[in-house]
Amino acid sequence: MGLTVRERLESIRARVAAAALRSGRDPSDVRLVAAVKRVPVERILEAVEAGVEMLGENYVQEARSLKEKIRAPVHWHMIGNLQSNKARQAVRIFDVIETVDREKIIHELQRCAQQEGKRLDVMMQVDLAEEETKSGADPEETRGLIEAVAGCENLRCVGLMTMPPFFDDPEGARPYFAELRRLRDRLQPLVPQGAVLRELSMGMSGDFEVAVEEGATLVRIGTALLGPRNA
């Protein structure tokens, strides 16, 4: 206890860099998304002041009220389940939707983005755990979804995101991270021109070093940076 958000950020950045170097990667290829759900706004502001440039939110409502309080020019990532009836607000609020996992939401996002005169980056959330309760597309569906996005003028697919099942030992998540990278490598030559699957969003507080070793370009970190969330 007692560490400031700034000190935690420094420590996380050092761990990210060490993990990148261990696997022969350039540390600057890995960026941090602060996962801010249910965190008091003061702590989020501390993170932004300390240099965090990307904020990830799970809830559209919460993001909307946060955005009024956080005026700094940060990038807003949607990292929670997106319902179709929230698509318009999501388009207004977010720069990137990381959790696209079905055709219906692609068409809804395109329709709203066009009406709002906005371009939006999206990522495909892939469910590698084969658990029916998890959100995310099946790996075999991902190519079709990327093709659907390529047909949408206002949307651009920039990568893949995944959330493995929970493991006490972060090594348990490694095969899922490796699988997302392999899926990206398989899909990249097959997807329509213009879709560059540059981003792999994977890794959270408990397992981000493993994710970086396996190729993460975005790590979504909540508690390790911001401390405990409200219930």
Ligand X SMILES: *Cc1c(COP(=O)(O)O)cnc(C)c1O
Contacts with ligand X, residue ranges (CB under 6 A): 35, 37, 58, 79, 163, 204-206, 220-224
**Nearest Cα to 67, choosing from 85, 96, 94, 98?**
94
The identity of residue 79, as a single letter, is I
Q: Which is nearer to ligand X, 139 or 222 (CB)?
A: 222
Q: Which is nearer to ligand X, 47 or 79 (CB)?
A: 79
Q: Which is nearer to ligand X, 193 or 230 (CB)?
A: 230
**Residue 226 Cβ, how far from ligand X at the closest point, in Å?**
8
- Angstrom CA distances, 227 to 65, 79, 155, 191, stand at 21, 18, 34, 39
**Residue 229 Cβ, how far from ligand X at the closest point, in Å?**
7
- Residue nearest to ligand X as judged by C-beta position: 222
Q: Which is nearer to ligand X, 149 or 161 (CB)?
A: 161
**Residue 192 Cβ, how far from ligand X at the closest point, in Å?**
27
**Residue 33 Cβ, how far from ligand X at the closest point, in Å?**
8
